[in-house]
Structure 1
Amino acid sequence: MSNFVFPPAEIPSAPVRGTDARYAVRRIFCVGRNYADHAREMGSDPTREPPFYFTKPATALTPSGATVPYPAATRDYHHEMELVIALGAPVFKATPEAAAAAIWGYAPGLDMTRRDLQAEAKAAGRPWDTAKGFDQSAILGEIVRASEVGPLARGAITLAVNGVQKQRGDLADMIWSQAEIVSNLSQLYRLHPGDLIYTGTPAGVGAVAAGDVLTGRIEGLGEISLTVGPAE
């Protein structure tokens, strides 16, 4: 038995719809600008250039229904509603067909962002870690097994703040499909069960404030919610 200096951290995990089992999370990858309308609102050209990625630590994982404090070091805290892929098999240098077979499930997710820190990082050519990978920045709903819902080629994706709709798109509007994303990412990493991929957000991202209640929905997957608490 190993003798640890400190007790090992608890393994981050997410519920699986219809079961008592939990999905252990290994890594969190995120795709930048995967909807043309969102690319335009962020000042980019929505061509099919290769997708690019950033990561969040698995410790940023936070369940749907949580109340999280307004994060430190920002005055521009944004919501981004996303489809999340949960992998269930190893993938490396895979074709889109092989990549699709490795998708175990899907979930609604929120990629919460310190937008002012992201803008500063972009302007200085620096990494996005402090803007994207902060505590409680990866909100995740229940994972639904792919065998229950199929490939999810289309379906409405929406987000409301205090009951007012802010984001609305369709999964069919994604520049890169789920299989293409997994295939492309597998050229860069050896992917494994437990890896999550946030697949990008439609247009309509915006700032939230303490007291706001966010409710997102993806057709076929159900809802996700988050309450923004006071700053710590």
Structure 2
Amino acid sequence: MAPETTPEVDMKAEILAAASELFQRDGYSKTKVAAIARAVGITPPTLYWHFESKEDILFEFLRTGLEAFLERIEAATAGLTDPAEALRALAVAHTRAQLSQRERAQTFLSMTYSPTQLASSLPKDRYELIRELHRRHYENTRAILRAGAEQGVFDVPDLSATTFAILNICEYSALWFQPGGPLTVDQVAEMHGEFALRIATSPPEPRKE
């Protein structure tokens, strides 16, 4: 059974959705509270009933989106003890999370680009909380690669470089993917699962002198 929602929860979700589009389109500093309220069809005083400030809206947008993203990725890898299976599942889930939202024409929290810039508008304590959520995904991926390297499953000369390479492949698919194009979300996600394994299992070619 789906969890029950209240009018207040629904309105908060509408405010966050409208704000996310405006923040990423116009930038945080140029987005006015009145514009967010207008996009939702309410007055600024009504908006302040749900959020005390524009900063609170930004923080909630970033925090809840990243937590939902991480919950989805971590659920996909839970219980997988084989590093190859876990890495593939992580890459597939990351890509699917990105593109399924893109296909529905909704703003989703990218793990590396515009929301990272948006987070810099937050005060230090809140910025660090958002940064820690980003870091958790990086560390989860790195831990899978380290386990695979220790077991002889992966050939990873540099854990950090390999981690970023895999995450960037998944992440930046949102820049080129076209809903209704020749590839579906699931096809791209499965491809990225295979790409992640190739990166982790194939040593780089030696440079020719």
TM-score band w.r.t. shorter chain: under 0.3
Question: Which of the pair is proportionally richer in strand?
Answer: 1
The answer to which structure has the higher helix fraction is: 2
Work out which of the two has the higher radius of gyration on C-alpha atoms and give 1 or 2. Answer: 2
Higher relative contact order, chain-length normalized (CA < 8 Å, sep 6+): 1
